[in-house]
């Protein structure tokens, strides 16, 4: 999936608006964008919305993932109790501080799946792992924690508050060292865990060029998609994370070259460049993303 759009779970208007912007996945939020007084209303609205969407299922429509409140808030279980029975595709865990947090969430989810007569493990997990200093330092602890885990992403806003930084970007608009570190350990932690890395939100939502630049850097560095906060960001993200015709063509040529060379193919050459196993692996990844870029 390329684009993950945050939608406040207490806003009927934004929920209905979110369906038509082309997002591959909606991140329906019960956490930071919903006030404490609105949590119950947001839980009910989110559950009804997903149930409704499941009933009039549209092929090619977005996936539905619910962001619950962090495990330390005491609110997580009530969030799950309200939404798991609506059969969301996944749960997004904010402020995850260790792989064991994903295991703890998975155990809570299993109880609610059983109560709703849903097969254990049907609901996936997405984790935001760098919202605290502790979480950032534990990015390497996610390998093998749960088959439910599908993506890992990072966040700079809560981490800023946890550390007490004045601003997380320098005068040129680039993230400062701590945030580049958080971004980097997310890429490495996700690759080590065998899951996709998803880039964080771009909060300056009227700045199209800034978003395009950040998308290009994310594609370059190995993220498979990016989170959005505004519907206008979705098309830009989808375009950036869809492999280009040239990239698909080159990937096809690499795969064909290895197929023609047979089982004993080691190193080959294409257009004057050395090609070996890592290039083949990357070619398969591009082709798999190209196949999935319709949102599947």
Residues numbered 3-32 forming contacts with ligand COA, rule: CB under 6 A:
5-8, 13-14, 17-18, 29, 32
In the complex, minimum distance from the CB of residue 8 to ligand COA, in angstroms, rounded to a whole number = 5
Q: What is the distance between the alpha carbons of residues 236 and 211, in angstroms, rounded to a whole number?
A: 8
Residue 13 partner contact from ligand COA, Mg ion, none using kind-dependent CB cut-offs of 5 to 8 Å: ligand COA
Work out whether 97 is an interface residue with Mg ion (CB under 5 A): no
Which of 245, 204, 196 is closest to 225 using CA atoms?
196
In the complex, minimum distance from the CB of residue 7 to ligand COA, in angstroms, rounded to a whole number = 4
Burial of 77 per CB tally in 10 Å (0-12, 13-18, 19+): middle
- Structural tokens at position 75: 């609110």
Cβ(24)–Cβ(43) below 8 Å: no
In the complex, minimum distance from the CB of residue 46 to Mg ion, in angstroms, rounded to a whole number = 17
Nearer to ligand COA, 90 or 231 (CB): 231
Cβ(187)–Cβ(223) below 8 Å: yes
Of residues 24, 79, 89, 158, which one binds Mg ion by CB under 5 A?
158
Nearer to Mg ion, 32 or 162 (CB): 32
Of residues 65, 139, 229, 275, which one binds ligand COA by CB under 6 A?
229
- What is the 8-class DSSP label of residue 86? G
Q: What is the distance between the alpha carbons of residues 216 and 206, in angstroms, rounded to a whole number?
A: 17
Q: Which residues bind ligand COA (CB under 6 A)?
A: 5-8, 13-14, 17-18, 29, 32-33, 201, 229-231
């Amino acid at each position: 999936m390329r684009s993950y759009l945050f939608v406040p779970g207490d806003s009927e208007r934004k929920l209905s608006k979110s369906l038509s912007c082309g997002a591959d996945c909606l991140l329906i939020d019960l956490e930071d964008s919903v006030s404490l007084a609105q949590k119950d209303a947001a839980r009910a609205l989110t559950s009804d919305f997903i149930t409704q969407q499941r009933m009039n299922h549209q092929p090619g429509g977005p996936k539905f993932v619910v962001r619950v409140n962090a495990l330390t808030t005491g609110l997580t279980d009530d969030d799950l109790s309200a939404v798991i029975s609506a059969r969301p595709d996944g749960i997004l865990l904010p402020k995850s501080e260790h792989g064991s947090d994903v295991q703890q969430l998975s155990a809570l989810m299993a109880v609610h799946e059983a109560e709703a007569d849903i097969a254990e493990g049907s609901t996936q997990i997405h984790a935001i792992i760098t919202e605290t200093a502790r979480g950032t330092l534990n990015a390497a602890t996610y390998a093998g924690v749960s088959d439910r885990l599908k993506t890992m992403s990072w966040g700079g806003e809560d981490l800023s508050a946890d550390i007490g930084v004045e601003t997380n970007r320098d005068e040129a608009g680039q993230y400062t060292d701590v945030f580049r570190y958080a971004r980097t350990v997310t890429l490495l932690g996700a690759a080590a865990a065998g899951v996709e890395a998803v880039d964080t939100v771009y909060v300056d939502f009227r700045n199209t060029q800034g978003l395009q630049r950040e998308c290009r850097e994310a594609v370059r560095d190995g993220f498979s998609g990016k989170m959005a906060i505004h519907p206008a960001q979705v098309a830009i993200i989808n375009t950036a994370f869809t492999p280009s015709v040239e990239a698909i063509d080159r990937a096809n040529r690499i795969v064909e070259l290895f197929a023609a060379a047979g089982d004993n193919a080691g190193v080959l050459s294409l257009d004057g460049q050395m090609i070996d196993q890592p290039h083949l692996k990357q070619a398969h990844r591009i082709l798999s993303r190209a196949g999935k870029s319709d949102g599947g």
